[in-house]
Amino acid sequence: MIVGAHSIIYSRKPDADRAFLRDVLQLPSVDVGEGWLIFGLPPAEVAVHPSDKNDVHEFYLMCDDVDELVATLERRNVPHEAVQNLGWGLLTRLTLPGGGKLGVYQPRHARPKPLKQEKRPRARRKGVKRAVKR
């Protein structure tokens, strides 16, 4: 039923932030027209936290080794916050070219297995007939 997740980062400088995700973080992407990039992400997970408000969402990337990530960010002159040990993970926030912050952490919590993709028949395009095997 669910085949993926689509996250959005709002930015005052979207072209600069897209270039950062492509060139610095080296996320694979597709251009869906006029330089509008959509990036592939590794498997994802979602948690529901208690809040006094609805419609508040956060987005974090995860890494296997936050110290290695910080060393890479420093070599690439990417501004970032000091790593914090929050118990559930080791967190840093990097500054995107557009000025926004992006949290990246090394999880220390249990992780679920990724959702398995069920093989689904490809959608047929209208007017396209399939060859019939006899």
> For residue 111, what pLDDT is reported?
86
CA separation (Å) from 8 to 39, 84, 126? 10, 25, 31
Conformational region of residue 72, where left means phi above 0, alpha means psi within -120 to 50, and beta covers everything else:
alpha
pTM of the model: 0.77
CA–CA gap between residue 83 and residue 131 (Å, rounded): 58
Residues 6+ apart with CB under 8 A from 31: 37
Which residue stretches of 46-130 are H helix? 66-75
| Contact between residue 80 and residue 92 where contact means Cβ atoms under 8 Å apart | yes
Q: Could you give all domains of the chain from N- to C-terminal order, each with its CATH number?
A: 14-43+56-107 (3.10.180.10)
Conformational region of residue 125, where left means phi above 0, alpha means psi within -120 to 50, and beta covers everything else:
beta
For residues 125 and 70, which has the higher predicted lDDT (pLDDT)?
Answer: 70
Would you tell me how many other CB atoms lie within 10 Å of the CB of residue 70?
20
Per residue in 75-116, pLDDT (tens digit) is 999 999 999 999 999 999 999 999 999 999 999 988 888 777
> For residue 126, what pLDDT is reported?
56
Residues β-bridged to residue 102: 94
Residue whose structure tokens are 């990530």: 69
Per residue in 46-83, pLDDT (tens digit) is 999 999 999 989 999 999 999 999 999 999 999 999 99
Residue 118: is its pLDDT beyond 70? no
